[in-house]
Structure 1
């Protein structure tokens, strides 16, 4: 397959793969409708795009097995959104510009849709023809990123921190798990599938962590200065519920400065990767251009 060197084309490839394959391993019709509803409702597909973009920096053989393994992270991300929106969590009624899953299908079915996407994500990582040592490494890193030392830990800290004032360092740790862990995984997954060396993997992990930080700072900022149409979800909700966010702690100008610092660190890490590998990472600039306000 020809190298795809822009995010829009990667997004189209991912959307087409999800549409064609999401129902293959679901045996219950309503569950299929609920899982597909949230997965196919839209979204930027940044995580699988980041995996595929990173892989293609090192390898131009973009096979169905690579796409399947990369798309697994989108299944898991969508599960996290469904559960995060539930009445017992954030109780949101709008996601990706449409009614949230529990509003459409009820809280019980929404919970099961999330469960289904979570488990199917691991099936997609493992049920392919990639080399065994690559699959093993992907599963280990995927589990760490999504589990009780990663995203789930971040969600738990978010709940526990709702009625207390966190420091900026505590907030960064919370978000490094809640948001950053999966973006870190999405970046290193491309390197793992391409079978790069450990030094390169460490730099990829560093870029993913910084990108995750920038993503969360930007999301918090846009909750204050953005619109529902821009974000596809209700804005100003974090402020109204007195949640710990960057604007709450740093103010608007301080948050913009924090975002600029993170983006500068990301560019610096990209330059380290170029020096380390001798390869072009120009496509990373397209991901960094996401942060506009």
Structure 2
């Protein structure tokens, strides 16, 4: 019996389960998109700063590495805003499935920007994934949600921003970032500041503490953003790639179930077919290709 592997599997699955509550908590908070992004990062920042104090000390950080962290933080904040917008427009479950397209975005971005040619199976997954997005948006077969087309576009924007975030973090790692908690602390701080500026600029409101909205956001910050991230990143590298890839797909499926049970969401048949097609495409393209397509922090899923 491999107790270490079994423990890693259980805690990795627990991390995926914790992260799966993210979109549901965003929906329950019912705050403007920029406000939610600012608050979740702001509430998570002190906890991450405290945890970073206990992290192993590494090499002195360079200016280039800090610059990549700033870019990663801006993209991370933008991804959070787009996720929140998608949840409000198309529903927590469906939005989460679309937002997990960052797996394919990183592969294409790495090919274009870093000259890392993706495996053939991942390229083949792009067509079915795009068809799944079309079905989810309601262009074919109808859809539920206040604005499913705009929601699907926001979900795609989230995947683009989150994929860019992962690539920026990868570059930060290449330039000497060997303290993942400290790096996430810095990224979260930049994301919180960027989202706060956006919230103030558009006049969203909602920054004044209120109950229960801020309670849900606090739970969102401490649960998916901090605890879920730590459980995922610590344990998934210890698992076989096929197993960790399945855990990657577990999160959106759990979110769909939670959204149905807790929020009463009932996607149309076309949207459900689109979600199934998206999950199949992500699994087909990512399960055996992630070592080449994804950075070491590819399991960072708190924006979901």
Q: Which TM class, normalised by the smaller chain length?
A: 0.3 to 0.5
In the superposition, the TM-score normalised over structure 1's length comes to 0.35
Greater relative contact order (Cα < 8 A, sep 6+): 2
In the superposition, the TM-score normalised over structure 2's length comes to 0.34
